[in-house]
Amino acid sequence: MIKITLPDGTIKEYSKGSTPMDVAKSISEGLARNVISAKFNDTIVETVTPLNEDGSLTLYTWNNDEGKKAFWHSSSHIVAQALEELFPGAKLTIGPAIENGFYYDVDFGEHTVSEKDFPSIEKRALEIARGKHDFKMHPVSKAEALEKYKSQGNEFKVELIENLEDGTITFCDHDTFTDLCRGGHIPNTGIVKAIKILSVAGAYWRGDENKKQLTRVYGISFPKQKELTEYLQLLEEAKQRDHRKLGKELELFAFSQKVGQGLPLWLPKGAALRERLEDFLKKAQKKAGYEMVVTPHIGQKELYVTSGHYAKYGEDSFQPIHTPKDGEEFLLKPMNCPHHCEIYNTKPFSYKELPKRYAEFGTVYRYEQSGELHGLTRVRGFTQDDAHIFCTPEQLDEEFKKVIDLSLYVLGSLGFENFKAQVSVRDLDNPDKYIGSVENWEKAENAIINAAKEKGLDYVIESGEAAFYGPKLDFMVKDALGRNWQLGTIQVDYNLPERFDLTYKGSDNELHRPVMIHRAPFGSMERFIALLLEHTGGNFPLWLIPEQAIILPVSEKHEKYAEKVLNSLENNEIRALIDNRNETVGKKIREAEMGKTPFMLIVGESEEEHNTIAIRRHGGEDLGSISVQDFVDLVTKEINSTLKSF
């Protein structure tokens, strides 16, 4: 007999060789019908994997992330079989599950796959799925595996196998199809009831632009057709909310091939939006005791060698800038933190003067491959709302909690209410990825976990997600479409103070190392605005939107009154403009709706006579005619309801 520990702590005995499905059946038939994957002692296993030792078992259904991962990975096998059959000679490479669905990278040779092929791929994949073929894992020797793929002329699988150890290689079979795979499948293909091919894109083999370009086939699948229909409706909504589309329509930003890929140009309305976001955070930071600093866009290469950034990112970043002086090299700034360390180093500090909180909206530059660039979410030049706090070890806990408060204030003021906190710690199995002592890492990780607990955050701990110099706390925000995004980061760092020899004089009159906190509630201005655009659909909070109202005179003779209304609004710090083009009021209203303007103020003969404005709200709601002061009060009340003081 073996002892199996379930997630609730219950321990049950089973015969040696029992499977996760046997365990599920012993709990309930309903659970057994829904179980599609399992984890045993931290290893993902099949539902039919024999369990031969004591251990902890977690059973997954479609409702669990791990269950979806197994479902989508299995679906990639089904689609791969369809692709092999429909495109003879196609060479399969890898086909993992991703956050939503799966992809398979394929070398189609002379074939070209496009949208017109999607229906036939979906049809054949569903035919395979309906066969209810079991997924069966079996081990193979390295020699066997190599022979199989060499005989097929698949150099991609051969390369993968050559990097594997003999005795660790497994194949997965279903129907007539076999694929190199390490496991993690649903019981059989019949569980997949709906499959959709979403898109195709180019992808370099192993992400290396010097290697062959493959075709990446993206897809998604569901256990019910109804769920696929709902997902496709959500995708359509996401298209309408795409920040690249909205940014163009609202005239916020643009890109120019002449300026360069990944380098956004902020148009007047977008620049004004950014400025308001910056002013909002600067005001809160000032109350929280931050001091603004400004640092150059470049720095000597040695600065980033000292910080460790060059060793980690140098090869993949913009190449050094050479000056006329022999041997002198500069880099475009990839990070603000080394510069802030040098600001701290400009004078000696006593423990009585700490913490020092330096903040900067600093623009940094990182070279991203052109295929990875995506609107504002992946760019080559971006501005971080960066700040670095230098404090004593005794102050760390309090300072970290204060940064959490500031981050929560930012998220709440911008309508991001649905989020979880993620504590990102080291991968203990790969210590070479990180700099600094084990002792400092342990202190930093414990400080973050304790602060998250004390603040009552709903948090998870993720191993291997830490920065190379320290652990961090990220806010994982769910947007209006149910998608998860990382917004706002707080990191504890014992390493850069060591590398830059930062000190302060303690109460014992000896020199000590400060602890450094990195924080950026927005993350980057570019990415934050992109996510805010998609979350709100361009309907920004009233306090933030570029134009809060547009005044629409019914005819030319009412323009003077419109200017009087505009003057009153501006005196009350309400952003408005007059649309006095020679167009009908109906057309102006339609265009104001398209531009997401919150209020349309129509002024004609009656309004001028009674000193009022007729108000139409974005979306079509008619608020009737009211005085300008009543409108000012309405706007002020709405702003105050969303934008609290920090």
Contact 561, 555 (CB under 8 A): no
- Cβ neighbours of residue 257 under 8 Å, at least 6 residues apart? none
| DSSP-derived 3-state class of residue 319 | coil
Query: Residue 320, preceding bond cis, omega within 30 degrees?
Result: no
87, 37 Cβ separation under 8 angstroms: no
337 is catalytic: yes
384 labelled catalytic:
yes
Q: Which residue is catalytic, options 366, 402, 519, 616?
A: 366
Q: Which of 436, 467, 471, 468 is nearest to 450 (CA)?
A: 471
> In the annotation, is 124 catalytic?
no
- Alpha-carbon distance of 69 to 100, in angstroms, equals 9
As a whole number of angstroms, the distance between CA 79 and CA 192 comes to 11
Alpha helix (H) residue ranges in 353-512: 396-413, 438-454, 495-499
Rounded to a whole number, what is the distance in angstroms from the first to the last CA of the chain?
Answer: 60
SS3 content of the chain, % helix, strand, coil (to 5): 40, 25, 35
Contacts with 619 (C-beta within 8 Å, 6 or more apart), sequence order: 593
Decide if 472 is catalytic: yes
- Check 105, 107, 179, 386 and give the catalytic one: 386
Residue 256 CB: number of other CB atoms within 10 A? Answer: 10
Q: Which of 39, 91, 179, 384 is catalytic?
A: 384
Residue 3 pairs in a beta bridge with 13
Q: What is the token pair recorded at 156?
A: 């991609």
Q: Choosing from 402, 472, 527, 535, which is the catalytic residue?
A: 472
Positive/negative CA dihedral, 459, 461, 466, 471: positive
Residues 6 or more apart whose Cβ sits within 8 Å of residue 100: 220
In whole angstroms, what separates CA 17 from the centre of its chain? Answer: 42
**Given 39, 426, 518, 588, the catalytic residue:** 518
Comparing C-alpha atoms, which of 212, 32, 40, 18 is closest to residue 109? 212
Residue 269 annotated among the catalytic residues of the structure: no
Which of 388, 426, 527, 535 is labelled catalytic?
A: 388
CA distance 211 to 633: 62
Q: From the candidates 81, 107, 181, 337, give the one annotated as an active-site residue.
A: 337
Comparing CA positions, the residue from 57, 92, 64 lying closest to residue 77 is: 92
What residues act catalytically?
A: 337, 366, 384, 386, 388, 472, 518
